[in-house]
Amino acid sequence: MKKTLYIMKSGEFKRKDNTLYFVDEEGNRKFIPVEDTNDIFIFSEISLNTKLLDFLSQKKICVHFFNYYGYYTGTFYPREHLNAGQVILKQSEFYLDYEKRLDLAKRFVTGSINQMKQVLKYYIKRKENNQRISTTLEDLSSIAENIQELKEIDELMAYEGHAREKYYACFDDIISNKDFEFDKRTKRPPLNRLNALISFGNTLCYTMILSEIYKTYLDPRIGFLHSANFRRFTLNLDVAEIFKPIMVDRLIFTLINKKMISKKDFDQEHGGGVLLNEKGRRTFIEQMELRMRTTVNHRHLGRNITYRRLYRLELYKIQKHLIENIPYEPYISRW
């Protein structure tokens, strides 16, 4: 499995012949094995040139950029290297055919709600049958049952938002830590520590899936639940709905409950926002990467695969839905 490279220090990326290396502010040089690199996440101020970008494009390496505060700013998405014409046409067809688009969008939302339920089922056993978690599980089941009756994408997204609001309300019961009280979901900027963790984790999830889309025939600009209008990429947002509960939320619960992250790992931003500081981001990224490399037994494949590989497999299933008329069934965690 190729590796993800995270750059946390400021410096300069350079290319020499067929070698890529990074020089930090202290002059330390680190050579990067490009043949073993899947993608690069940059969380600092760096210098690079078009010669370097051309080299990264040749090596099919996506580069994701984040600003000083950890906000995603954009991606260098190399020229598509796969012959994706047929798939792109099918993606466009399914997007323009409202019934086909709505069907796929419902599958994403249903999959998302099922993953939320799996998370709550995991923790209700550890919280002595907490009443709020029990009630929320019933509510989520009811919402999922009503999804098939919906006729509009906007209405569907409202249902998903309502389900997620109920799901988030259980976070305080799962965490039970006054330093990380949820209150309500806030973004841009997040207004408390727990929201800062959710926003940062979700952003990592979006960009990892974007890197995996690049390895398929799919076009990241054509989503189905999220409209392909003002956003550069939308398919990764659709797929992330399936994985955020199990890849991001459960990691957050582990980080807090095992005291791997504390209130010292956050800074107050001007304007009232709360963001992870550099140490907090490092800890989160290290644990996220460990989780992505963890292997689990895939019941359909009959072999162990990494969590990161699950992203690619989900994309292949979407591709088969478009091309081979094999109905897409979202992944459901069993652990």
What mean pLDDT comes out for the span 29-55? 89
Query: Are the C-beta atoms of 330 and 225 separated by less than 8 Å?
Result: no
Question: How far is Cα 65 from Cα 233, in angstroms, rounded to an integer?
Answer: 15
Question: Chain centroid to CA 7: how far?
Answer: 19
Q: Is the pLDDT score of 265 beyond 90? A: yes
Q: What pTM was estimated for this model as a whole?
A: 0.92
Produce one character per residue of 233-271: b if its CB has 16 or more CB atoms within 10 Å, e if not: bbbbbbbbbbbbbbbbbbbbbebbeeeebeeebbeeeee
CA distances from 47 to 23, 41, 73, 211 (A): 10, 14, 16, 22
Assess whether pLDDT exceeds 70 at residue 23: yes
Per-residue CA distances from 287 to 29, 70, 88, 212, 312 (Å): 25, 16, 35, 20, 20
Sign of the torsion angle spanned by Cα atoms 29, 33, 34, 38: negative
Helix (H) or strand (E) holding 251, with range, is: helix 250-257
Give the three-class secondary structure for 298: strand
Lowest mean pLDDT among 30-44, 199-213, 246-260, 296-310: 296-310
